[in-house]
Chain A
């Protein structure tokens, strides 16, 4: 779909440029005659094709209802959209904006907790136990 949008955009831009060039040439050559119909039509067709292309190649709309939007985040999780940082980490789609509260692990759950209160000792112990269990 993105490719189709780009093709339409290119064709539309070409038509539009050509129509504008023709209109300019026409007004310099015959200053006092009205614009011929074919130039007007080409301009209109160019604008319509370009608008269609822009609409088609636009990003998918996000849900405007909070519950639907949040439900989508929960159901689909975070997934990459094909963009990477310089370090090679993929930039993911948006996640739970309140994840920083660390309340999703439940009471006494094994979540990451809150960043400001990061329990480095506990996490290290958990990792050590895992390594020892594997050996």
Chain B
């Protein structure tokens, strides 16, 4: 079953899936992939594959989230004996273990100080820097997390994962301008990523809707990026959903022709082409048709056979019945 696969865990692990994943611990723990024989023989009798360690790491994380600390400790010691105590990744995993087992905020602060110590010894340890941001975030100190993240990004500006994190952190603070900037950096590194385009579009649409009346240029940009996501992935439900939402916001603005012609004159210097009423209507129709197709397709497949979440389909149905 696809929901409890340790090699490729789903992109959203709900608690029941996490439980199913961590219940595989006894099986994995009883079969060590490395051999216990002395050196030359251990090479011959080792049964490890690259996948074994990915499975161990994923199992470690799901054991921690379900509170199975014993299994997690065993998995960690197995990983440490294979890759060495000072391996950057093992140090990070140990940090995650300490974070998870920290009961009070004070002990979490201690873990945080441990990270500072590691960074004093080796300031280039990027994954520990990321852990620091994660701890600050879970302590609720979002502005400190943003500062730590900007330092990280100054030192390593090609880290696309960190740009994505920065974008979401800013978005959680409703700092739309900064969030859009970071998301556009992500687009520079991953221009063919449909989810990154949909993310930028969502940010534009949220930032445009935060002003009243909604800004026409923001909505146009949102529509543009959602259309790009559709262009990259013709089965992307989220993008079609976004096209429909943005179009429903744009249509009343554009149908007020007087406003739109005036706005269009203003927008020229900002270089955001505003779509015409007819093309937005057409896009709306296409999105409606496609969403209907996805819903029918989901209904005709067996459970677990479709790539879409049930929640996505329910949301699309609700949007169409409005």
Contact = CB atoms under 8 A, between A and B. Distances in A.
Contacts of B237: 74
Interface string B131-164: 1011001100000000000000000000011101
Given A89-B7, A127-B15, A70 B233 contact: yes
- Kindly name the residue among A73, A92, A118, A119 whose own CB sees the greatest number of chain B CB atoms within 10 A: A118
Contacts of B51: 85-87, 89, 91
Contacts of B307: 73-78
Contact of B130 (A91, A92, A97, A116): A116
A4 interface: no
Interface of A: 66-68, 70-80, 85-92, 95-108, 110-124, 126-128, 130-131
Nearest to B58: A89
Contacts of A111: 11-12
A121 B193 contact: no
- Kindly name the residue among A77, A78, A95 whose own CB sees the greatest number of chain B CB atoms within 10 A: A77
- Kindly name the residue among B5, B28, B172 whose own CB sees the greatest number of chain A CB atoms within 10 A: B5
The 10 A-B pairs with the shortest beta carbon distances in the complex, nearest first, are A77-B307, A71-B235, A130-B15, A70-B233, A98-B193, A74-B235, A71-B234, A75-B235, A116-B130, A103-B199
Contacts, number: 195
B161 A100 contact: yes
- What is the predominant secondary structure among interface residues of chain B facing chain A? helix
Nearest to B179: A107
Interface stretch (B37-45, B62-70, B253-261): B62-70
Contacts of B199: 103, 107
B49 A108 contact: no
Interface residues of B, number: 73
Given A66-B192, A76-B307, A131-B15, A88 B165 contact: no
A107 B233 contact: no
A117 B65 contact: no
Contact of B233 (A74, A105, A119): A74
Contact of A89 (B55, B64, B134): B55
A67 B17 CA distance: 30
B220 to A, nearest CB: 20
Contacts of B99: 120-121
Contacts of B234: 67-68, 70-71
Given A77-B307, A79-B305, A127-B18, A112 B13 contact: yes
A98 B306 CA distance: 19
A87 B30 CA distance: 10
